[in-house]
Amino acid sequence: MNAAAGRIAENVRQVRERIAAAAARAGRAPNEVTLVAITKYVSLDVTAAAIEAGCMDLGESRPQDLWSKAAALAQRPVRWHMIGHLQRNKVRRTLPLVHLMQSVDSPRLLQALDDEAARQGHPVDVLLEVNVSGDASKTGLPVDEVGTLVQQAGQLKQVRVRGLMGMAAREGDAEGARADFAALRQLRDRLAAAAPPGVSLAELSMGMSGDFEQAVEEGATIVRLGSILFEGVDA
Ligand SMILES: *Cc1c(COP(=O)(O)O)cnc(C)c1O
In a domain, 230, yes or no: no
Number of H helices, E strands in the chain: 8, 9
In a domain, 78, yes or no: yes
In a domain, 84, yes or no: yes
Best residue among 46, 58, 65, 83 to mutate for probing ligand 1's pocket (most ligand atoms within 8 Å of CB) is 83
Specify the number of domains making up the chain: 1
In a domain, 106, yes or no: yes
Which CATH number goes with the domain that contains 8?
3.20.20.10
List helix spans (H) across 76-132.
91-94, 107-120
In a domain, 235, yes or no: no
Which residues, other chains included, contact 100 with Cβ-Cβ below 8 Å and sequence gap of 6+? 79, 81, 82, 125, 126, 127, 162
In a domain, 234, yes or no: no
In a domain, 131, yes or no: yes
Q: pLDDT, tens digit, for every residue of 162-201?
A: 999 999 987 668 778 999 999 999 999 999 999 999 899 9
Ligand 1 residue neighbourhood (C-beta within 6 Å): 38, 40, 61, 83-84, 167, 208-210, 224-228
13: amino acid identity, one letter:
R
In a domain, 233, yes or no: no
* Nearest to 211, CA basis, from 175, 164, 169: 175
**What are the backbone angles phi and psi of residue 81, rounded to the nearest 5°?**
-115, 130
What number is the average pLDDT over the span 128-151?
A: 94
Q: The domain containing residue 158 runs over which residues?
A: 3-225
What number is the average pLDDT over the span 137-147?
A: 94
